[in-house]
Structure 1
Amino acid sequence: MDRRLLIRLLAKQELTIILPLVQVLNPDVLPDLLAQRLEDMMGQGYQCVAAFLDDDCVGVAGIWQGTRFWCGRYLDVDNVVVDPAYRSSGIGRQLMDWVEQYARQQGCEIMVLDAYVTNHSARWFYERMGYQVLGHHFVKSL
């Protein structure tokens, strides 16, 4: 990779640049609906970290902060996506390392994330980075 990688927190007005990569992870959700959900999420404290090669956004990781009884202050990582053309080049690891440093600076005690049970490469990636499966995330459609 000859180009320089820059990782940074996006400003609120920049967040729409993540939508093409979020679409990769959520192909069954219509683009207009993703845009509406992003708008809703922004009002709920959603932030996003992006990885750039020159001016190209090649990776994103959404983040939320909160506090829970069982763990104290935490950072929830959401929709981590690296452009398929750049996977296995170290961008995902660098992106997650940046997020971890940010979580420490914010006084978070832990980081949490979900990965689809069918996404075996994501599970392998997160386990290599030191994440452990602690429980199950249950979902009930309404």
Structure 2
Amino acid sequence: MKVTRLTTKDQWLEAFPIMRQLRTHLDKASYVILISEAVEKDNYRLYALYDQQEIVAVVGFKPMITLYYGRFVWVCDLVTDNINRSKGYGEYLLNYVHTWATDNEYESVALSSGIQRHQAHRFYEEKMGYEKVSYVFKSK
């Protein structure tokens, strides 16, 4: 297995079919525009996990500093291809993010997960040792 940072439009598009499984509201054009802007303005980083030369999972994150969390990494997107779930790919990528955070002197890793995503919550809490610390609210 190999983790690779995706930095070009062609690489982002290669990851789109997997990202779309999580971000179903995006089409290719809006996906590329949003990633491009997030990379430029928000230090967003997109990584893919390859197994046998095929992308099996992707993670997008950004290093941040807030008064609440201090120096931390916010995981914006984490998705494993539907046909490759429960093979340890999500755990592998999330551990990669934790290592990146430690290597770059960030204290912790945080994320939010949709209320309906019960399997993901079990994964974060039981397998990865995350704890619920807040609710996320969004206005329209």
Is the 1:49–1:99 Cα contact (8 Å) retained in structure 2? no
Task: Choose which of 44, 50, 54 in structure 1 pairs with 2:52.
Answer: 54
2:103 matched residue in structure 1: 105
Residue in 1 aligned with 2:93? 95
CA RMSD across the alignment: 1.3
Change beyond 3 A, Cα 1:11–1:22 = closer
Which residue of 2 is the match for residue 137 of structure 1? 136
CA contact (8 A) 1:63 1:77 kept: yes
Q: Distance in 1 between matches of 2:29 and 2:68?
A: 36
Q: Shift in Å at residue 15 of structure 1?
A: 3.2
Q: Distance in 2 between matches of 1:97 and 1:15?
A: 21
- TM-score normalized with structure 2 length: 0.90
Cα distance in structure 2, aligned partners of 1:72 and 1:28: 31
* CA displacement at 1:120 relative to structure 2: 0.7
> Cα–Cα, structure 1 residues 92 and 11, in superposed 2: closer, same or farther, change >3 Å?
closer
The structure 2 residue matched to 1:6, chosen from 2, 6, 9, is 2
Q: Deviations over 1:72-108 (max 9, x none)?
A: 1100011101011110011111111111111100101
CA distance in 2, matches of 1:104, 1:81: 22
Whichever residue aligns with residue 6 of structure 1, its letter is K
Partner Cα separation in structure 1 for residue 88 and residue 121 of structure 2: 16
Identical positions, percent: 22
Distance 1:28 1:11, change over 3 A: closer
Closer, same or farther in 2 for the Cα pair 1:11/1:32, shift >3 Å?
closer
How many Å separate the matches in 2 of 1:95 and 1:51? 7
Q: How far did 1:16 drift?
A: 3.3
- Structure 1 segments of 4+ aligned residues over 6 angstroms from their partners: none
C-alpha separation in 1, matches of 2:136 and 2:82: 26
Q: Which amino acid aligns with 1:133?
A: K
Query: Unaligned stretches of 5+ in structure 1?
Result: none
